[in-house]
Amino acid sequence: MYFDAHAHLDDDKFWGELPQVVDRIRSAGVTAVVNAGCDLPSSVAGLVLANTYPWCYATVGLHPHVASEWNEETCRILKVLSKDPRCVAIGEIGLDYHYDFSPREVQKEVFERQLELAHEQHMPVVLHLREAFGDATEILSRRRDLLTDGVLVHCYSGSVELARDFFNKLDAYYSFGGALTFAKNKGEVLSAIPQDRILLETDAPYMTPVPYRGKRNDPSLLPLTAAKMAELMGLTIEEVADLTFRNAKRLYRL
């Protein structure tokens, strides 16, 4: 059994084909998927999916790309959405300095506000961090009092040192997707992380693993990433599937 800790089945790339995708997911042995919210519409759509399929769960939150959409009404709506029994975390939230679609100061303020929301709701946070680890570590260090219910660094792209010297001290979890099949030095990163903090994800429809790069990703391809993780960690694919499934259930309290 596989647990996809982070996907976007609500994405318009799946429109009109979701029933077929669901069949492939189930046939591949993927028995749990967390659909990640990026804004209010995707957060609502994820909860609709989670309330439709018993194997699906959802997170709610504002991605740093849309941090400029934050206001008190947004905060109120997210708080209401987070109370849905199928919601398992606040996310994906964080900082993204690659595109700077929202001003950096706004991103930082909204990141901190959503950390406060997660703490208030006693929920884990799912972090999106891209080319912003410096500011992210400053905020997370300063507001460590808010990180009492679990932290997931989704699609971890940081260094060995950052994992070992900072995020491990936060008792963070790390999820790895299709990049594991083509990026360099991932074995070193995996070796720096406690095995009980490692998860699998697809980030579907993005980050498609080899040999399907360039095509749409979906959770049925998760076993390809699991196989690469098993190779890098010196485990069997069955051990990786079991390990990451148990870790995801612990993080999301399922």
pLDDT tens, position by position, 187-241: 999 999 999 999 999 999 999 999 999 999 999 999 999 999 999 999 999 999 9
Nearest to 157 by CA among 192, 135, 183: 183
- The enclosing H or E element of 180 equals none
> Where does the pLDDT of residue 185 fall: very low under 50, low under 70, confident under 90, or very high at 90 and above?
confident
pLDDT tens, position by position, 73-87: 999 999 999 999 999
Q: Which amino acid is at 246?
A: R
With a cut of 90, say whether residue 29 has pLDDT above it.
Answer: yes
Domain that includes residue 76, residue range: 2-252
Domain count, the chain: 1
Please state the rounded mean pLDDT for residues 172-177.
97
How large is the angle between the packed helices 237-252 and 222-233, nearest 10 degrees? 110
pLDDT tens, position by position, 115-161: 999 999 999 999 999 999 999 999 999 999 999 999 999 999 999 99
* Assigned token pair, 46: 């994820």
pTM, two decimal places: 0.97
Nearest to 203 by CA among 98, 78, 59: 59
Share of the chain above pLDDT 70, in %: 100
Residue 88 belongs to domain with CATH number: 3.20.20.140
With a cut of 90, say whether residue 253 has pLDDT above it.
Answer: yes
Across the chain, where does the E strand assignment appear? 2-7, 30-35, 56-60, 87-96, 125-130, 151-153, 173-176, 198-200
Please state the rounded mean pLDDT for residues 88-106.
97
